Amino acid sequence: MGRYTFTTHVEAPIEVVFDLWTNLDRMRDWVGGVTKVTDVTGPLDRVGARYTTWFGRMQSPTEVIEVERPRVFATRFGNAILRRTNRSVFEPDGSGTRITETFQTVGVLSAISAWPFAAGSYRGSFQREMEAVARLAEAEAAAGH
């Protein structure tokens, strides 16, 4: 129903960016509203791995549907309010990495509920989350991680 694409540049190596993006222990550092991640069934570099992301009491079951380390990471996730797929592509970009993230909502309710996240400029919006992960990856790269 709704499709949103966001791009940002990160002044960090592609491996650092990808590793941060797929580190469930760090998700709360850059995804607004995440309170915990549970029920991890396997390594995230395997299609079919599953986990549950929690936003307070609301849970979002997630499944890895495509992965090509360190270039592509895609998931299908959601609940009755917001169901979608998310495909993130990581590409060399000058001295850093370009992230292109595409969200595709599933169903009318999801399309409506995703719009504020796509159009917003607050911490939990899709663009702000990308900017937050960029700052974290840049700091890690500068620290030599």
- Is the pTM higher than 0.85? The answer reads yes
What is the sign, positive or negative, of the torsion defined by CA atoms of 88, 70, 29, 49? positive
Judged against a pLDDT cut of 90, whether residue 1 lies above it is answered with no
Which structure tokens are listed for 37? 């991640």
- Span 21-33, average pLDDT: 92
Cα-Cα-Cα-Cα torsion 36, 128, 88, 116, nearest 10 degrees, comes to 90
- Span 50-55, average pLDDT: 94
Please write the tens of the pLDDT for every residue from 54-96.
Answer: 988 989 999 999 999 999 999 998 876 777 889 999 999 999 9
First to last CA, the chain: 39
